[in-house]
């Protein structure tokens, strides 16, 4: 139990800090460049992962599905970087995009004929309401050029 909670804490800290790094990175380089640098970060870990696993025995279909998933993940990374680059706050963009399981549940319902449980229905309603509220951004009144920005950009 203690070990598993330590691993959970490890994941939360790294993923949480990552949201900050993503915003700080897109403040300095373009979204497309960020995709490339992030991929470099993943590739750095590749030899380490290869030590503990191998792709031997996997069918061509599974390899294709896994790689296609990676491709979609890369496109999603580009979209979140573009979102941050276009001025989204990290504190809005990260929780908002973390709602992606909503779409996964939808796809599983349509294509895998999975039926959402009552708890998942509750999650869907909360996600839709939360997503709409997080996206709420009142129109910003015109301000004078010398007025400082409230956020570090």
Asked if 60 is part of the footprint of other proteins (rule: CB under 8 A), the reply reads no
| Per-position x/- string for 63-92, each x denoting binding to other proteins as judged by CB under 8 A, each - no binding | x-xxxxxxxxxxxxxxxx-xxx-xxxxxxx
Residue with Cβ nearer other proteins (103 or 147): 103
Asked if 138 is part of the footprint of other proteins (rule: CB under 8 A), the reply reads yes
For residue 110, give both structure tokens: 């349509």
Residue with Cβ nearer other proteins (43 or 145): 43
Residue with Cβ nearer other proteins (103 or 115): 103
Handedness of CA 66, 68, 74, 77 (dihedral sign): negative
- Give yes or no for a contact between 85 and 35, defined as CB atoms under 8 angstroms apart: no
- Give yes or no for a contact between 80 and 22, defined as CB atoms under 8 angstroms apart: yes
- Give yes or no for a contact between 89 and 151, defined as CB atoms under 8 angstroms apart: yes
Q: Which of 14, 60, 115, 147 binds other proteins (CB under 8 A)?
A: 14
For other proteins, the binding residues in 94-133 under the rule CB under 8 A are 94-108, 111-112, 119-120, 122-124, 126-127, 129-133
Asked if 4 is part of the footprint of other proteins (rule: CB under 8 A), the reply reads yes
Asked if 148 is part of the footprint of other proteins (rule: CB under 8 A), the reply reads no
Residue indicated by tokens 């941050």: 84
């Amino acid at each position: 139990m203690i070990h598993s909670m330590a691993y959970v804490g490890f994941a939360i800290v790294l993923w949480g800090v990552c949201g900050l790094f993503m915003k700080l990175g897109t403040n300095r380089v373009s979204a497309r460049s960020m995709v490339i640098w992030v991929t470099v970060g993943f590739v750095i870990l590749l030899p380490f992962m290869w030590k503990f696993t191998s792709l031997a025995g996997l069918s061509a279909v599974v390899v294709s599905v896994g790689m296609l998933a990676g491709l979609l993940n890369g496109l999603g990374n580009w979209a979140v970087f573009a979102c941050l680059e276009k001025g989204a706050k990290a504190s809005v963009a990260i929780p908002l995009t973390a709602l992606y399981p909503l779409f996964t549940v939808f796809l599983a319902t349509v294509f895998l004929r999975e039926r959402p449980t009552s708890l998942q229905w509750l999650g869907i309603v909360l996600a839709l309401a939360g997503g709409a509220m997080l996206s709420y951004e009142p129109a910003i009144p015109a301000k004078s050029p010398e007025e400082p920005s409230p956020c570090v950009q």
